[in-house]
């Protein structure tokens, strides 16, 4: 028993080192911009860079729209599948997993072919059209995470009985989703939203190939031309992702508790 625990700790330590050592090294390197002393100069340069502010702002707005699109598509779809079409669940789950299997570059080339300036739907002919396409592309990439988060949330409540209880009290579909279903899966939706946010902030392929000024291409550009700033940016990106994860954990404590039986 004791020997088993020892080896468990060894495995844990090796895993933690594999994860943390490069991170600590990156942090340490990012603070060596000023010769001889540790400083936050690289962070000051990055945060003061107008391109950082613009690209980060662009990605934040894109993330917000992606979350809205994702919620509007996934919540009613996952709800309806649980309520009326449970037989379709394996198929829908398979479809939502496809973005994990199909590389983003394939999706984006498909977009370029389908929505190029000579196509019947020339989204790529204008910047705003391309932004719309980018948001839908991001929503596709975030689909596995958003769908799973919402579906898990729906699993914790008795969707059918709650729906029927609301219906018999006179409620229509909009009221049922807005006042009964959504508040009870809100934490799950927020989890999906934060995961989506983290994905959009770091996404490179789509933004780069669609030539949008997002944070991902900015990170790549900095990495190719500077020394200390990319390390600082990597740490900032990590901090954003971890911040999102922490918010999910904190918010999950406020989830409506299911009734005692």
Partner 1 sequence: MADPFLSIQHVRKSFANATVVQDFNLDVGAGEFVSFLGPSGCGKTTVLRMVAGFEEPTSGAIMIGGKDVTRLKPNQRNIGMVFQAYALFPNLTVAQNIAFGLRVAKVPKADADRRVAEMLKLISLPNLGDRFPYQLSGGQQQRVALARAIAPKPKVLLLDEPLSALDAKVRVSLREEIRQIQKDLGITTVFVTHDQEEALSISDRIVVMYGGRAEQVGTPFEIYNRPQTRFVASFVGTLNILKAKVLNGATGTIAIDGQQVTASGMKNDATNGAERSVALRPEAVSLNGIGGQRNKLDGTIEEVNFLGSVVRIRVRFQENSVSLDTFNNPNAPPPKHGEKVTVSFAPEDLLVLEGEAPN
Residues in contact with partner 1 by CB under 8 A are 157-158, 161-162, 164-172, 175, 179-180, 183-184, 256-261
Nearer to partner 1, 253 or 257 (CB): 257
Nearer to partner 1, 130 or 184 (CB): 184
Q: How far is residue 27's CA from residue 116's CA, in Å, rounded to a whole number?
A: 42
Nearer to partner 1, 132 or 182 (CB): 182
Nearer to partner 1, 82 or 212 (CB): 82
Q: Provide, rounded to whole angstroms, the least separation between the CB of residue 18 and partner 1.
A: 41
Q: Provide, rounded to whole angstroms, the least separation between the CB of residue 70 and partner 1.
A: 22
Nearer to partner 1, 107 or 166 (CB): 166
| 8 Å CB contact between 187 and 150 | no
Q: Provide, rounded to whole angstroms, the least separation between the CB of residue 108 and partner 1.
A: 40
Task: Tell me the C-alpha to C-alpha distance, in Å, between residue 224 and each of 23, 63, 135, 251.
Answer: 19, 25, 26, 38
Alpha helix segments (H runs only) across the chain: 2-30, 41-48, 50-83, 89-101, 104-115, 127-155, 159-168, 173-175, 182-202, 205-209, 215-225, 228-252
Q: How many CA atoms lie within 13 A of 5 on its CB side?
A: 2
Nearer to partner 1, 176 or 234 (CB): 176
Q: Provide, rounded to whole angstroms, the least separation between the CB of residue 223 and partner 1.
A: 45
Q: Provide, rounded to whole angstroms, the least separation between the CB of residue 61 and partner 1.
A: 30
Q: Provide, rounded to whole angstroms, the least separation between the CB of residue 55 and partner 1.
A: 38
Our CA angle for 123, 63, 81, nearest 5°, is 85
Nearer to partner 1, 113 or 257 (CB): 257
Q: Provide, rounded to whole angstroms, the least separation between the CB of residue 171 and partner 1.
A: 5
Exposed, middle or buried by CB within 10 Å (0-12, 13-18, 19+), for 30?
buried
Q: How far is residue 213's CA from residue 54's CA, in Å, rounded to a whole number?
A: 8
Nearer to partner 1, 181 or 214 (CB): 181
| 8 Å CB contact between 251 and 190 | yes
Q: How far apart are the first and last CA of the chain?
A: 38
Q: How far is residue 80's CA from residue 154's CA, in Å, rounded to a whole number?
A: 11
Q: Provide, rounded to whole angstroms, the least separation between the CB of residue 245 and partner 1.
A: 24
């Amino acid at each position: 028993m004791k020997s088993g625990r020892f080896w468990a700790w060894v495995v844990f330590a090796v895993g933690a080192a594999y994860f943390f050592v490069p991170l600590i090294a990156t942090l340490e390197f990012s603070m060596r911009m000023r010769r001889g002393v540790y400083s936050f100069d690289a962070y000051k340069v990055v945060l003061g860079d107008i391109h950082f502010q613009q690209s980060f702002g662009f990605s934040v707005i894109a993330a917000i729209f992606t979350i809205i699109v994702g919620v509007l598509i996934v919540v009613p779809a996952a709800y309806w599948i649980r309520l009326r079409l449970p037989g379709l669940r394996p198929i829908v789950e398979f479809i939502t997993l496809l973005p994990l299997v199909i590389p983003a570059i394939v999706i984006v080339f498909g977009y370029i072919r389908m929505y190029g300036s000579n196509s019947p739907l020339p989204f790529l002919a204008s910047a705003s059209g391309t932004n719309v396409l980018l948001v839908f592309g991001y929503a596709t990439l975030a689909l596995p995470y958003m769908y799973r988060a919402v579906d898990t949330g729906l699993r914790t409540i008795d969707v059918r009985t709650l729906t029927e209880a609301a219906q018999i009290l006179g409620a229509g579909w909009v009221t049922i989703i807005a006042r009964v279903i959504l508040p009870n899966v809100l934490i799950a939706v927020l989890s999906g939203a934060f995961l989506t946010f983290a994905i959009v902030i770091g996404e490179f392929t789509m933004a780069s190939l669609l030539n949008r000024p997002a944070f991902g291409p900015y990170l790549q550009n900095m990495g190719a031309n500077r020394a200390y700033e990319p390390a600082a940016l990597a740490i900032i990106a990590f901090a954003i992702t971890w911040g999102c994860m922490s918010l999910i954990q904190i918010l999950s404590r406020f989830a409506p508790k299911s009734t005692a039986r």
